[in-house]
């Protein structure tokens, strides 16, 4: 068995990582306080068979941050795993804490991928005050009209 590699991060790498987060968040974020001074937001989780995308918006619907499994660093089939979804949720939670939108978070889940449950669990364990979890997956009621029968 070979030696185990231990990754050591120094101050320069931490600063570079913090600058990346600053670039994604933007210089000024307009998170307006709502009634009684509470700031809130919505997190949309779009989970497909191939990827998991989390979008942070304010209560009006303006996008504040967007992260996907690919942007966090996963490639190929690893993007569709529940572990990748939890890492994306942790990245969005860090951005929420940086902005200051941790008081009232509504989570809206869409899709049928593997990352649905793990992303919601990761958001809750990161210390965000999740008020509601709603499933907004589109469901066909009757489908489209079938083709007419072929006459020979």
Give the count of beta carbons closer than 10 Å to the beta carbon of residue 19.
Answer: 10
Which segment of 23-32, 42-51, 97-106 scores lowest on mean pLDDT? 23-32
**What is the rounded distance in angstroms from the CA atom of residue 102 to the CA atom of residue 130?**
8
135: CB partners within 8 A, 6+ apart: 108, 109, 110
What angle in degrees, to the nearest 10, is found between the helix axes of 82-99 and 11-25?
A: 80
Q: What is the DSSP letter of 126?
A: T
- Take residue 6 and report the two structure tokens written for it: 């231990």
pLDDT digits (tens, 9 = 90+) for 28-64: 455 444 433 347 899 999 999 999 999 999 999 999 9
State pLDDT tens for residues 130-149. Answer: 999 999 999 988 888 889 99
Nearest to residue 47, comparing CAs of 90, 91, 86?
86
Every domain of the chain and the residues it spans:
37-135
Q: Which two tokens stand for residue 30?
A: 């307009």
Tell me, what DSSP letter sits at residue 113? Answer: S
Write down the pTM of the prediction: 0.72
34 or 21, which is more confident:
21
56 three-state secondary structure: strand
| Correct CATH for 37-135 of 3.30.420.80, 1.10.1740.10, 3.60.70.12, 2.40.30.10 | 3.30.420.80
């Amino acid at each position: 068995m070979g030696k185990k590699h231990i990754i050591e991060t120094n101050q320069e790498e931490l600063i570079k990582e913090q600058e990346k987060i600053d670039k994604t968040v933007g210089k000024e974020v307009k998170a307006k306080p709502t009634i009684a001074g509470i700031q809130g937001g919505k997190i949309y989780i779009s989970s497909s068979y191939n990827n998991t995308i989390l979008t942070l918006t304010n209560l009006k619907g303006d996008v504040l941050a967007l992260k996907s499994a690919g942007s966090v660093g996963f490639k190929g089939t690893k993007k569709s795993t529940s572990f990748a979804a939890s890492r994306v949720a942790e990245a969005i939670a860090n951005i929420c804490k940086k902005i200051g939108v941790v008081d009232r978070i509504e989570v809206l889940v869409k899709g049928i991928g593997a990352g649905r449950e793990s992303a919601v669990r990761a958001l809750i364990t990161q210390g965000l005050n999740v008020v509601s979890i709603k499933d907004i997956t589109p469901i066909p009621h009757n489908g489209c009209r079938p083709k007419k029968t072929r006459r020979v």
